[in-house]
Amino acid sequence: MSTSSSNPVSNTAPPKAPARRQSGDRHVYNGPGMIATGEATALLPTETTPPIKVFGTAAIRETFDDLCLQQAVNSRLAPGVTDLILNPDAHCGYGAPVGSVLVSPTHIYPGPVGVDIKCSMSLLQLDLPADAVDDRKVRRELISAICRRTPTGAGKGQRSVAQSRHVNRTLGKQLVLEGASKDVCMALGIPPNWAFRCEDSFHVGHDGTATALEARLETLLATREMTNFSEKMQQLGSYGGGNHFGECEVVEVGDNERARSVAETFGLHDGNVAFLSHCGSRGFGHILASGQFKHLQTKFDRWGIPLPAGDRQLVYAPLGSDEANNYLDDMSLGANFATVNHLLINALVLEAFQEVIPGVKGDLVYFISHNIARREIVNDRPAWVHRKGATRAMPAGHHSLEGTPFANSGHPILLPGNPRDGSAVMVADPGAEASCFSVNHGAGRVLGRRHAKRVLDQSTVDTELESNDILSNCRRYPIDEAPAAYKDFNEVLHSVKSAGLASEVARLKARFVIKDASKADD
């Protein structure tokens, strides 16, 4: 690829990856094994590059299946890649493993961002004591009030619920260009100051300007793939399906001095109710990402460019090329949608709580992504850090936090676990530099969705939640989202702590969960 997409050039074939073969529907990894370097650290060698850094205890490393390891090696050997990190939640994904970090100063990779551009976590802290949601009837009323405002399900949008915010085409164009600007927030009833509690409240075009982003959007709107733009804007303020959720929590701040001090900086209140959300850029982001995969794969086929390890989902574009510029613009458009989507969900959730319990107040603790590529400084030079199912982890004193509320503490890290075992708020330690200032994005799957449906028992899943007094909007909890489908969250957190990447500030205990009820009730 060149800076002019009409002038193809040949690329040098990437280094050969270790052999890969299939046994039935499983890949068998034949490369070198992992070498332990500490209680929760290891190295995964490759044939031609410095090794992959692995974070996870021996028990966690056993959860990395062969395909996950093969994808990690394939990604490390891809052109322009200088670092590859495997976090404790790592499992096989599309091209690159979910739970990995890929660094390149010269290339951009759509695969290590994924199809849900800027899938993220956000946490809303309420001034409501835990006992206010003890009554199951109150929780049922809260679930209903939230579901009247925030639809769930892959194709669901504002028209499927009664009290959503309407987003027309004009506002839709504005929000994907501006992100959480003051005007966009005011138009949607989002407190504008929440933008200061975002990892990135807005994204600009490939050249650092809004003009480039606007030009790209106009080009996209003229294409056949984006004829449903207005329809996709109707999904703003919704959760979607899969592993996306909203969860009512009770905050339990750690009992050490540092945890209490950091919690105060974050705005966390021990013993109070909070609300944790997980979602991304919905159908709009999926269209953008899918279009980029298709476009780049067509270019690779047309020009005969070798694919890394023959994997079509590891297509890439050299920085400065038209292809890279278009991808970065599309990623920014999707990321701006995801940002506003989260902030609107939080505003609607707060509104729902106020309907059921008048007078409740709430503030955003933080909004942070785990599917994004960001330009950062790695090894003293600019590079694109691709986090796929990985969370940024900048400790106190990091230059990127200068001028933020978290300069002296490190920023909040929001890690979802499962309703049974809780979720966590963490803060980075100086040792996070070893992982390119990244940690896992949650527990990580240990059972694939089909496998979970085959081996898990629905009544056991539902009984387990009931015994923990956790309610849901689903008549039957989605079995492929059951706690047993995920890794041991406490062992995942132990890995992060033992590796010196981050420390726990608070644990979040679930009281009710909002999931995609459409499939759960099939």
Supply the residues annotated as catalytic: 441
Does 515 appear as a known binding residue?
Answer: yes
Does 399 appear as a known binding residue?
Answer: no
Rounded CA separation 424/263 (Å): 12
Sequence-distant (≥ 6) Cβ neighbours of residue 299 within 8 angstroms = 1, 5, 8, 305, 315, 323
Between the two ends of the chain, the Cα-to-Cα distance in Å is 47
Burial 481-518, CB ≥16 within 10 A → b, else e: bbbbbbbbbebbbbbbeebbbbbbbbbbbbbbbbbbbb
Are 383 and 375 within 8 A, CB to CB?
A: yes
Total Cβ atoms within 10 A of residue 66: 18
Distances (CA, A) of 479 to 248, 446, 483: 20, 13, 9
By C-alpha distance, which of 232, 209, 211, 208 is closest to 221? 232
Does 66 appear as a known binding residue?
Answer: no
Sort 186 into a burial class: Cβ within 10 Å, 0-12 / 13-18 / 19+. Answer: exposed
Q: How many residues does the chain have?
A: 522
Does 116 appear as a known binding residue?
Answer: yes
Does 178 appear as a known binding residue?
Answer: no
Q: And the tokens for 55?
A: 């974070």
Sequence-distant (≥ 6) Cβ neighbours of residue 114 within 8 angstroms = 93, 94, 98, 289, 371, 388, 389
Does 442 appear as a known binding residue?
Answer: yes
Does 444 appear as a known binding residue?
Answer: yes
Does 245 appear as a known binding residue?
Answer: yes
Burial 209-222, CB ≥16 within 10 A → b, else e: eeebbbebbeebee
Rounded CA separation 479/470 (Å): 15
Does 24 appear as a known binding residue?
Answer: no
Does 243 appear as a known binding residue?
Answer: yes
Does 269 appear as a known binding residue?
Answer: no
Secondary element (H or E) of residue 65: none
Does 494 appear as a known binding residue?
Answer: no
By C-alpha distance, which of 386, 372, 390 is closest to 330? 372
Sequence-distant (≥ 6) Cβ neighbours of residue 462 within 8 angstroms = 476, 477
By C-alpha distance, which of 112, 19, 86, 67 is closest to 315? 112
Does 355 appear as a known binding residue?
Answer: no
Q: What's the Rg (C-alpha) of the chain? A: 22
Q: And the tokens for 349?
A: 């959730």
Q: And the tokens for 294?
A: 């298709």
Helix and strand numbers, DSSP H then E, in the chain? 14, 21
Indicate the annotated binding residues for Mn(2+): 116, 244, 278, 370
Indicate the annotated binding residues: 116, 243-247, 278, 370-371, 423, 441-444, 515
Indicate the annotated binding residues for GMP: 243-247, 370-371, 423, 441-444, 515
